[in-house]
Structure 1
């Protein structure tokens, strides 16, 4: 079961944000800080403020003294520093985690809310073992074609992904919402038996109190013909001081951002997607129907048949969103 505490990566980001804020409030540039405390490289401060290095408590204490941090804030940030540097509990909680999967698990475990959209795949937190194995094996094969040494052991990856999913069953787990594309639930994604099990699993998940699924039908118009550029996830954390995080999936490269303006653009996009998609109840009906048809007969078309008539939908007119 994933730990119900913020992860080290979140603590590092929180610490970095607060240290940068304190430095700016003190009217100091990065170069001035380096000169005053005698560090050899400006990159050390940059990595610390951007949450990219494990913080040393002594270094943080020196910075807090320089910035004249209030006693209560100083104590709080030193506690966060200790949490940011302790990876032992996390390694024990995820004994089979690969480095990539651990990064996703760290983001997910400290969340109060997760929102995901994927135009071509079922998100990892919703995948069955069979679907996950197929996705991982095919991705590793593509990576190995360019670099034979690339990719982790598939079974380790599968166990890691399934281990992350227990997050949704936790009593204090996050509120999870996903927008699924109809195309992602078609025959192109996997063999019929794997797809049938995946659809049945989605039906079960959709009935959990903290899980909401929306289906975006193939020909649905999103606002003024908005087209989502790629798969993305939005994370809001239990600690309100931790910045909301955007993760953009780009095939073999994932990009993360806590820049408020960027995160907000994708939050608006997610609202548009939810407004255009089927409601949660209509999505569940579609999933049950599609699962039943796959179970009873082999569908002859290249996509899974849903209900013959999609329920009427209300759509909100969006504001302006810059596509990237």
Structure 2
């Protein structure tokens, strides 16, 4: 199966950066050799900020001294950047950041998510997701709400279509008390999490109020990919949006933060017991 366009652009950019380094050229030198007046064009291609067309890709390959077989591999990767995937059907309701997130999430070999007050979207029931989207800071029209809920449910196939992508989710105990949509919705949400947590590749960890780490605020997602030279991606969530970061240093720093949160949480079995206890109290 072809890579998602988002991930293919990222993979192509990483390989072009490697080839440029092997050729001993700076990004500015490579741009000049290609005859491009915009000196930042090469670095923007390498960081997947802009797409590259076939003509420009051949120019870069020639400058870097890429052999025919390697060029064929680059062109195949370029073809992947133009593949249509399911989320493109929702382009009218997805902003660029969210579309990029979904595309990279679809190619991840491992997912780690942490949130202080909400279960990650991959663990949300349809009713809970609808309540969050409908009552959020940017209230959408009914048709848009329906579409965004569909997107969130479609994303969950990463977990439910076996073998499934490994997911480790760490949440604060406060998530068990957020009654967006009412108590019936929360009951359904807790049951949904308990069901998903039974999957062998899904681990849910709850940080109890009594632990110092329970004071963390916000949300983050760490994505790892199968390519050995890919450092991974970090997404930091904030009120009404998210931002992405892919520097090796920052990704490592947030991995350490995630490890601290996970180590501070209850074990998966203890977490399920706490969730079940909260469910029974409603």
**TM-score of the superposed pair, with normalisation by structure 2:** 0.90
Write the mapping of 1:249-268 to structure 2, written as runs, cut at 5 A. Answer: 249-268=237-256
Query: Shift of residue 5 of structure 1?
Result: 4.8
Residue in structure 2 matched with residue 280 of structure 1 by the alignment: 268
Which has the greater radius of gyration? 1
CA–CA separation in structure 1 for the residues paired with 2:63 and 2:141: 45
Change in CA separation of 1:163 and 1:94 when aligned onto 2, cut-off 3 Å = farther
Residue in structure 2 matching 1:110, options 107, 111, 119: 107
**Change over 3 Å in CA distance of 1:151–1:229 after alignment to 2:** farther
Match of 1:128 in 2: 125
1:96 deviates by 4.0
Equivalent position of 1:59 in the other structure: 56
Deviation at 1:78, TM superposition (A): 2.0
The one of 207, 213, 231 aligned to 1:243: 231
State how far apart, in whole Å, the 1-side matches of 2:74 and 2:231 are. Answer: 15
Aligned to 2:278: 290
Write the distance in 2 (CA, Å) between the matches of 1:256 and 1:20: 19
Q: Which residue of 2 aligns with 1:154?
A: 145
Q: How many corresponding residue pairs?
A: 279
* Aligned residue in 2 for 1:297: none
Q: TM-score, normalised by structure 1?
A: 0.79
Going from structure 1 to structure 2, the CA distance change for 1:16 and 1:227 (only over 3 Å counts) comes to farther
Where does structure 1 lack aligned partners over 5 or more consecutive residues? 295-324
- Superimposed CA distance per residue, residues 94-118 of structure 1 (whole angstroms, 9 cap, x where no aligned partner): 6346324433321211111100000
RMSD: 2.3
C-alpha distance in 2 between matches for 1:178 and 1:245:
16
Cα separation, 1, equivalents of 2:7 and 2:229 = 10
1:128 Cα deviation from its structure 2 partner? 0.8
- Of 165, 188, 194, which residue of structure 1 is paired with 2:156? 165
Query: Is structure 2 residue 200 aligned with structure 1 residue 212?
Result: no
User: Unaligned stretches of 5+ in structure 2?
Assistant: none
Equivalence map 1:167-246=2 (5 Å): 167-222=158-213, 228-246=216-234
Counterpart contact for 1:129–1:162, Cα < 8 Å: yes
Alignment of 1:99 onto 2:94: yes
Contact 1:111 1:238 in 2 (8 A): yes
Q: Distance in 2 between matches of 1:47 and 1:104?
A: 18
